[in-house]
Amino acid sequence: MSPSACVASWQSIDPRRPDEVPLRCWWARPADGPPRAGVLVLPEVFGLNGWIQGVTERLAAAGYAALAVPLFARTAPDLELGYGPDELALGRSHKERTRTDQLLADVALAAEWLQEQLPPAAAGLGCVGFCFGGHVALLAASLPGVAATVDFYGAGVRSGRPGGGPASLEVVPTIGGTLLCICGKEDLLIPAADVAAIETALAAANAARSADSPAGWLHRLVVLEGGHGFMCAARSDHHPASAEAGWSLLLETFAQQLGPDRHRAGA
């Protein structure tokens, strides 16, 4: 990606309601013109580290205003971890302290702020999440105004939701936009039964959609080669070919639902 393809910096978002907290986000936007849409980026348990910042900047270079949102704003608002076993344990300890209502409140606040930064002609909001962020992205897909969501290897959506409660897959019928779930074939955190449950939930929601739904507004599941975290070059399960395919699917989904791809350098 060309250094001039985007402008990026830390952005503080102040709470607006009693149930909200301040958010320290990574904010990136195109350097050579207005964005055509906005995208929320939801991180792994490792926080807003260098890789997530890079994903956010890559989206900005592709023409989107992209905002990476901290998922541990109440317990570790400045978290930026590497990928070692101790960092994984620390990140998971914060994940276990999250609640779905608080996570959705944080994402909704970020979405509200991001929408305000977009020009009137911008096409709307997308959302992408990885690992725990992928799980939260599936939940956030039910928020008003989120038109397209890509959930990369969001584990645990069949068995429950953050803080307890019914399976997160139960929100799929309430999603108004499109949801693309992408899993790795060798992902030990998403067993075959979970993959089948995801496929069944998406198919049922598609079948329930009215016949006059816009063409292409169907949920999808794609299984690629690789294990958990295959998109990230800093992780042991990184699978370059699948990472490239996953990025292409991401851009294809947003191009279809949020407007035509501007083919920016580095996209």
- Side by side, which strands form the sheet with 23-30? 6-13, 23-30, 64-68, 37-42, 125-130, 146-152, 178-184, 220-224
Rounded (5°) CA angle 196-197-203: 90
Given the residues 131, 181, 183, 232, select the one marked as catalytic.
131
Given the residues 6, 228, 232, 239, select the one marked as catalytic.
228
Whether 187 is catalytic: yes
Neighbouring-strand partners of residue 148: 126, 178
Show the beta-strand stretches assigned E in the chain: 6-13, 23-30, 37-42, 64-68, 125-130, 146-152, 178-184, 220-224
Whether 94 is catalytic: no
Given the residues 187, 194, 232, 239, select the one marked as catalytic.
187
Asked if 184 contacts 226 with a C-beta cutoff of 8 angstroms, the reply is: yes
Asked if 36 contacts 259 with a C-beta cutoff of 8 angstroms, the reply is: yes
Whether 6 is catalytic: no
Q: Which sequence positions are flagged as catalytic?
A: 131, 187, 228
